Amino acid sequence: MILRGFSRPPFLRSEEPVDAMMRDAVFALLALLALPTVFYGPRVLLMAACTAAACAACEFLFLLFARRELRFPECSCVVTGLVVTMLMPAGAAFWIPALAGAFAILVVKMPFGGLGCNPFQPAAAGVAFVTLLRPAELFSYPDPAGGWLPLSPGGIAYAAAESPAAALRSGVRPAMAPLDMIWGRTPGPLGTTAALVLAACALYLFARRAADWKLTAGFLAASGAYAALFPRVVGSALTSLKYEWLAGSLLFAAVFLVTDPVTAPRTRAGKFASGAIAGVLTMFLREFGRFEQAACFAVLLANLCRPFLDRAAIAWTLRKGARHETGKA
């Protein structure tokens, strides 16, 4: 019996091999690095290169000590490194994203069998890990109007600027104009502030079938509904939705975290539900959690629900099919 609404994992599709999907993700992430590089200088590129290299080195060492075949055709470790970099402040010491990448590879990805077997999104787990270790550094952002940062790999002294997510957490409407938030001219993690570029990356990944739009749609619909029903700032529901979507790492999570093909459910209904769960959890943790950025924690919690969502969707499809067959009989 063929189950409608059930799709095989994207990385097993013959028409879209995993290495092509990873290359598309790398291209989108590199495009997302353009504006931060303009604002903060080449330090951003150096941080991305060092983090990606740390992830590749950790994967190589794990394969070496585990006596597995040394192959890197899909460059998923580079994707992990770039995603981790995008969730870092521009002035962070390089060892922080490197540690996040090492945790992602050595603890979350490789011990479970490598790509295709990890139960949690590796980059989200790595960033959550260093967030718990060094929250002060993770939520201290330089002003993008302050000029280029020095290339020093160590931590940099700068006057921290309030991010839109921090303002919302305080119950205050962000002082930044929405247009500045669309173009990334606001303090925040490197790859999360340029909403227009994130939207272009999403369209590219959807068109290339490197990401599934159903996960993003469920995430944005649920987070938008939460923002409209439970606003944190004075104003209309549309005002609340606008600032919540544009602030922090919400849009980045919708494009690059919840769409991870390994940890996403396999059924269509499960994908919508998983995205919606992650969206609600992101908004809930933003308001009541410890940190202003909560998308990584929300994605990890949603990963726990994947098996149950698929089982529920399959069971519902089987019951629906059985009722249909009974009716025909």
Instruction: Tell me the pLDDT tens digit for each residue of 27-63.
Output: 999 999 999 999 999 999 999 999 999 999 999 999 8
Residue bearing tokens 């790492």: 249
Backbone angles phi, psi at 160, to 5 degrees: -70, 140
* pLDDT above 80: residue 80: yes
* Angle at 190 (CA atoms; ends 198, 81), nearest 5 degrees: 90
User: Of 201, 194, 209, whose CA–CA distance to 12 is shortest?
Assistant: 209
The C-alpha atoms of residue 132 and residue 287 are separated, in whole angstroms, by 18
Please indicate, yes or no, if residue 1 is contained in any of the structural domains.
no
**289 or 159, greater pLDDT:** 289
CA 48, chain centre distance (Å): 16
The C-alpha atoms of residue 80 and residue 82 are separated, in whole angstroms, by 6
The C-alpha atoms of residue 303 and residue 286 are separated, in whole angstroms, by 18
* Two tokens, residue 237: 């529901």
206 three-class SS: helix
How is residue 294 annotated by DSSP? -
Q: What is the pLDDT of residue 313?
A: 72
Q: How many CA atoms lie within 13 A of 28 on its CB side?
A: 29
The C-alpha atoms of residue 143 and residue 130 are separated, in whole angstroms, by 22
Q: What is the pLDDT of residue 1?
A: 38
Q: What is the pLDDT of residue 154?
A: 79
Please indicate, yes or no, if residue 225 is contained in any of the structural domains.
yes
What's the domain count of the chain? 1
* Two tokens, residue 201: 């990356």
User: Per mean pLDDT, which range of 119-128, 181-190, 221-230, 310-319 is the poorest?
Assistant: 310-319
Please indicate, yes or no, if residue 158 is contained in any of the structural domains.
yes
Q: What is the pLDDT of residue 13?
A: 38
Query: How far from each other are the two terminal CA atoms of the chain, in whole angstroms?
Result: 17
Other beta carbons less than 10 A from residue 172's beta carbon? 14
Can you tell me the mean pLDDT for 135-152? 89
Backbone angles phi, psi at 92, to 5 degrees: -70, 145
Global pTM value: 0.89
Please indicate, yes or no, if residue 309 is contained in any of the structural domains.
yes
Burial class of residue 284, CB neighbours in 10 A (0-12, 13-18, 19+): middle
The C-alpha atoms of residue 210 and residue 14 are separated, in whole angstroms, by 13
Residue bearing tokens 């994130």: 198
* Angle at 164 (CA atoms; ends 160, 167), nearest 5 degrees: 85
Domain of residue 146: give its range: 16-328
Assign 146 a pLDDT band (cuts: 50, 70, 90): confident
User: Per mean pLDDT, which range of 50-54, 274-278, 303-307 is the poorest?
Assistant: 303-307
Backbone angles phi, psi at 267, to 5 degrees: -95, 155
Please indicate, yes or no, if residue 4 is contained in any of the structural domains.
no
The string of DSSP letters for 64-95 reads: HHTT-----SS-HHHHHHHHHHHTS-TT--TH
Can you tell me the mean pLDDT for 301-311? 87
The average confidence (pLDDT) of the chain is 87
* Two tokens, residue 189: 């993690």
**103 or 64, greater pLDDT:** 103
Assign 268 a pLDDT band (cuts: 50, 70, 90): confident
Backbone angles phi, psi at 133, to 5 degrees: -80, -45
Residue bearing tokens 């396999």: 266
Using one digit for the tens of pLDDT, what is the confidence trace for 210-227?
A: 999 999 999 999 999 999
CATH number of the domain within which 87 lies = 1.10.3430
Q: Residues 139, 145, 150, 153: what is their CA dihedral angle, to the nearest 10 degrees?
A: 20
Assign 2 a pLDDT band (cuts: 50, 70, 90): very low
Please indicate, yes or no, if residue 7 is contained in any of the structural domains.
no
**228 or 326, greater pLDDT:** 228
User: Of 188, 209, 325, whose CA–CA distance to 251 is shortest?
Assistant: 188
Assign 18 a pLDDT band (cuts: 50, 70, 90): confident
Q: What is the pLDDT of residue 15?
A: 43
Assign 269 a pLDDT band (cuts: 50, 70, 90): confident
Assign 26 a pLDDT band (cuts: 50, 70, 90): very high
247 three-class SS: coil
Percent of the chain surpassing pLDDT 70: 90
Q: What is the pLDDT of residue 172?
A: 85
**228 or 172, greater pLDDT:** 228
Please indicate, yes or no, if residue 9 is contained in any of the structural domains.
no
Please indicate, yes or no, if residue 205 is contained in any of the structural domains.
yes
